[in-house]
Amino acid sequence: MKAHLSRRYLFSASHRLHSEAMSEAENHATYGKCNNPFGHGHNYIVEVTVSGPVDERTGMVCNLADLDSFMEREVLARYDHENLNCLPEFAQQVPTTENLCMSIYEIVNRSFSLAHLERVRLEETMMNSFEYAGQDQLRR
């Protein structure tokens, strides 16, 4: 029997949306106030959904403590209270929430092996959220 487990985590980070491939005017027109040279911050909520069979012995898809420990060590420690523009994964790409969501997905997908990663959802504001379920989902 396959079940899904979703867990939410909070972190704060800043970024400036700016593309070196565009002029100052294009950046301002595209990103508006998010192109502020001093950046701006968000209190993000990241939701990770994993799935798998329910273990008959434990009654769980995976142990929450294992998922929490992984997320703290591999995701939250990397992004919490950071300027996203200064991180290696955003040296060549704009640190939009879409790109951040895909980066988090790749970290979890590459290294968390105790359950199958279904998706990552990242809430930037009460009005904006982004979801990524991997390359295979894009082809459907």
Catalytic residue among 18, 62, 123, 124: 124
Question: 19: part of which helix (H) or strand (E)?
Answer: none
In the prediction, which pLDDT does 48 show?
98
Does the annotation mark 116 as catalytic?
A: no
Note if 123 is an active site residue. no
Cβ neighbours for 92, distance < 8 A, ≥ 6 positions apart: none
Digit-by-digit pLDDT tens for the chain (140 residues) are 799 999 999 999 999 999 999 999 999 999 999 999 999 999 999 999 999 999 999 999 999 999 999 999 999 999 999 999 999 999 999 999 999 999 999 999 999 999 999 999 999 999 999 999 998 655 44
Question: What are the extents of the domains in the chain?
Answer: 2-138
- C-alpha dihedral over 11, 104, 114, 64, to 10 degrees? 20
Of the residues 26, 40, 81, 86, only one is catalytic, namely 81
What is the structure's pLDDT at 137?
Answer: 57
Catalytic residue among 34, 47, 116, 131: 34
CATH of span 2-138: 3.30.479.10
Cα distance between residue 62 and residue 67, in whole Å: 8
Q: Is 124 a catalytic residue?
A: yes
